[in-house]
């Protein structure tokens, strides 16, 4: 009124930050981490499996038959005859099916392993530190089991394409259609139980061995990270131990997967093992092709682990700059 004070609505200035829509930094970081793991795992699986595809096909052909054990000489002879009769690219027959399976399998397995390590680390109180041996083994087993459960039908298709002539199946889709029509959808999961039973020691021991060797290396060498050649060596050791431990179940799995096209009937793991041992012997039957696996397995696993680690490091450097290594 006459006091010189202006009347009107009074505004109060609040000392509060404006509310803005923003993605929390931690959530964004976690999404990038998962995406990096998936991409690195997919590349690792594709590179490793393509490198050993001819040896892999040879091993599957021997596992699915009742022939004598696969010696290196016999393997080379089989590869050479396959090359002469079917051509050079026939050595990679079934590799397209392998890629369809191995890319999601490896992506899921490596990504799941990173997540399980984090979960177990939080549970046991090892946040940011290396896990102790038992959780290290469990993380690898769970990762392999998760990947196998999701991608198993693709493994069945790969096995069928590897042991049949190219005239029988024209494509991956054709395999699915024929198996579904002629043998039923259940056939796509034939051999699933021995697969899971084999994956538990295989993936568990592989990841356990690789992570343990990296940890021991860091403690004794004083270097934070092993060189690429050392990673290859650690991965080769991991593959050798993991595949040797689970090999009999791998043979059983292949027999059950390929039974429909090779004239056998295997109804269970135990009966399959009994028939293999009765007809071919314990060592010659259940460890058929193991000598080839001691060549193929360490190479594949070494390449796989090394590719995953180096791709992870590269992606992190691109995102955050140098200085952040696995």
What structural domains does the chain harbor? 68-186 (1.50.40.10), 190-302 (1.50.40.10)
pLDDT in tens, 255-291: 887 776 656 666 678 888 888 888 888 888 888 777 7
Rounded mean pLDDT of the chain? 81
**What pLDDT shows up at residue 62?**
65
pLDDT in tens, 288-307: 777 777 888 899 999 999 99
Read off the pTM. Answer: 0.75
- Pairwise CA distance, residues 60 & 254, whole Å: 7
- Pairwise CA distance, residues 129 & 84, whole Å: 53
pLDDT in tens, 32-76: 889 999 999 999 999 999 888 887 777 766 655 555 555 666 767
More confident: 105 or 95: 105
- Pairwise CA distance, residues 54 & 89, whole Å: 9
Angle 208-212-216 (CA atoms, 0-180°, nearest 5)?
175
Least confident of 29-33, 87-91, 108-112, 199-203: 87-91
Write out the DSSP string of 34-63: HHHHHHHHHHHHHHHHHHTHHHHHHHHHHH
Backbone angles phi, psi at 290, to 5 degrees: -65, -35
Structure tokens of 131?
């896990």
- Pairwise CA distance, residues 71 & 74, whole Å: 5
Structure tokens of 140?
């690898």
Write out the DSSP string of 226-260: --HHHHHHHHHHHHHHHHHHHHHHHHHHHHHHHHH
**All residues at 6 or more sequence positions from 264 whose CB lies less than 8 Å from its CB, including other chains:** 255
Write out the DSSP string of 243-306: HHHHHHHHHHHHHHHHHHHHT----SHHHHHHHHHHHH-HHHHHTTTHHHHHHHHHHHHHHHHH
Binning pLDDT at 50, 70 and 90, where does residue 20 land? very low
C-alpha Rg value of the chain to the nearest Å: 26
Q: What is the DSSP letter of 313?
A: H
Given a contact cutoff of 8 angstroms between Cβ atoms, the answer to whether 152 and 194 are in contact is: no
- Pairwise CA distance, residues 264 & 53, whole Å: 26
């Amino acid at each position: 009124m006459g006091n010189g004070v202006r009347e009107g609505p009074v505004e109060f200035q609040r000392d509060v930050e404006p509310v803005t829509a923003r993605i929390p930094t931690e959530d964004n970081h976690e999404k990038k981490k998962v995406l990096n793991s998936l991409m690195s795992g997919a590349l690792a699986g594709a590179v490793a499996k393509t490198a050993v595809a001819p040896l892999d096909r040879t091993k599957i052909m021997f596992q699915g038959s009742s022939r004598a054990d696969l010696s290196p000489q016999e393997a080379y002879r089989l590869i050479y005859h396959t090359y002469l009769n079917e051509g050079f690219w026939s050595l990679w027959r079934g590799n397209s099916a392998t890629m369809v399976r191995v890319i999601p399998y490896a992506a899921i397995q490596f990504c799941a392993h990173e997540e399980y390590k984090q979960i177990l680390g939080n549970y046991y109180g090892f946040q940011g530190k290396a896990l102790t041996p038992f959780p290290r083994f469990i993380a690898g087993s769970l990762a392999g089991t998760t990947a196998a459960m999701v991608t198993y039908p693709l493994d069945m298709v790969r096995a069928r394409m590897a042991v049949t002539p190219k005239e029988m199946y024209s494509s991956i889709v054709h395999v699915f259609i024929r198996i579904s029509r002629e043998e039923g959808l259940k056939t796509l999961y034939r051999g699933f139980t021995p697969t899971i039973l084999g994956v538990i020691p295989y993936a568990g021991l592989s990841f356990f061995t690789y992570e343990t060797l990296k940890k021991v290396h860091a403690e004794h060498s004083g270097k934070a990270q092993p060189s690429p050649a050392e990673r290859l060596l650690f991965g080769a050791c991991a593959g050798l131990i993991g595949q040797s431990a689970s090999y009999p179940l791998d043979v059983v799995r292949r027999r059950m997967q390929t039974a429909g096209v090779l004239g056998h009937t295997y109804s269970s793991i135990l009966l399959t093992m009994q028939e293999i041992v009765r007809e071919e012997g314990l060592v010659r039957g259940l460890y058929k092709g193991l000598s080839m696996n001691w060549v193929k397995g360490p190479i594949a696993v070494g390449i796989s682990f090394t590719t995953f680690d180096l791709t992870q490091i590269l992606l992190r450097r691109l995102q955050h700059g140098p200085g952040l290594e696995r």
